[in-house]
Amino acid sequence: MEQRCIRDVNLASEELQKRINELDARDDEKGLEELGRKERRSLLADLNNAMFTQKAIMYKKARHKWLKQGDLNTKFFHSLVKWRRARNELHGVFVDGRWCEDKDVIKDKVRVFFEDRFARKEACQVRLDNVRFNSISAEDNELLVGDFSEEEIRAAVWNCDSSKSLGLDGFNFGFLKYCWDIIKLDVLSAMKDFASKSHWPRVSNASFLCLVPK
C-alpha cells in the first residue's frame, strides 16, 4: 500500500513538473497571460504538497525518531528504508528440518504461524462468574430514568449565578428567577421533551466569544 502511494505521488509530481515546464517554455517565447500565471502558481502549490507528502511517507517508512519531518534529507530516508527492508526480508523458513526458499511455502508458513499465535484459546479467557460488581438500587434507577420534577429544575436554576446568561439572547438567570412564575411552564415543557426524545437543539446551547483587548 505504501509503495503504491509513493508511486502515485511520484507520477503526480512528474505530471505537475511537466506541465510547469511547458508553461515556462511558453513564457520564454511570448509571455504568459494572467490565466496562465494563475495556473502556474496553482501547479507549483500542488507540486510542493506532493513533495511534502512524499517526504512525509519516506520519513514514516524510515522510522527514525530523532529526525523531524521537516528535514529535507531525502537520500538519508531512502537509505534507511532500504536498510530496514533488507533487515526484515524473509529469505526462507525451516520446514520439517529442511531449509525452504519457495515463496508460496514461506507465505503459507507465515500465515499458519500468526493464525496459531493469535487464535482464540479457551484456557486464556477471563471469566467473571464470581465477581460481584457494584450496582445501583431500584429506587436510584427510578430516579435516574424518571421525569424531571419542577422542584429539581427550580433548584438547578436557583443554584446558578444570577449574572450568568444561558445564550445569545442576553437573558440571564436573574431574569429567569424573577419571571419564573411566567416561564416555568415553557421550561418544564422543554425539559419533558428532552427527557422523552433525548435530543437537545444545538441552537439552545450556542455561544460566542468576544476578545476584549487589555
pLDDT computed for residue 47 by the predictor: 81
CA 214/CA 201 separation, integer angstroms: 35
**Residue in 11, 16, 5, 13 with CA at minimum distance from that of residue 60:** 5
Supply 60's cell numbers: 514514516
Q: What is the mean pLDDT of residues 121-125?
A: 67
pLDDT computed for residue 69 by the predictor: 46
Give the model confidence (pLDDT) of 5-29 as tens digits.
666 777 777 888 888 888 777 777 7
Confidence of residue 60 (pLDDT cuts 50, 70, 90): low
The secondary structure of 87-103 as a DSSP string is HH----EEETTEEE--H
Residues contacting residue 70 through CB under 8 Å, at least 6 positions apart: none
74 and 12 together in one domain: yes
39 and 106 together in one domain: no
pTM of the model: 0.32
CA 1/CA 86 separation, integer angstroms: 18
Which residue range forms the structural domain that includes residue 178?
147-205
153 and 183 together in one domain: yes
Label each residue of 168-193 as H, E or C: CCCCEHHHHHHCHHHHHHHHHHHHHH
**Residue in 193, 196, 153 with CA at minimum distance from that of residue 176:** 153
Place of cell 529535507: 72
How many domains in the chain? Answer: 3
Letter for the amino acid at 84? R
22 and 81 together in one domain: yes
CA 181/CA 29 separation, integer angstroms: 83
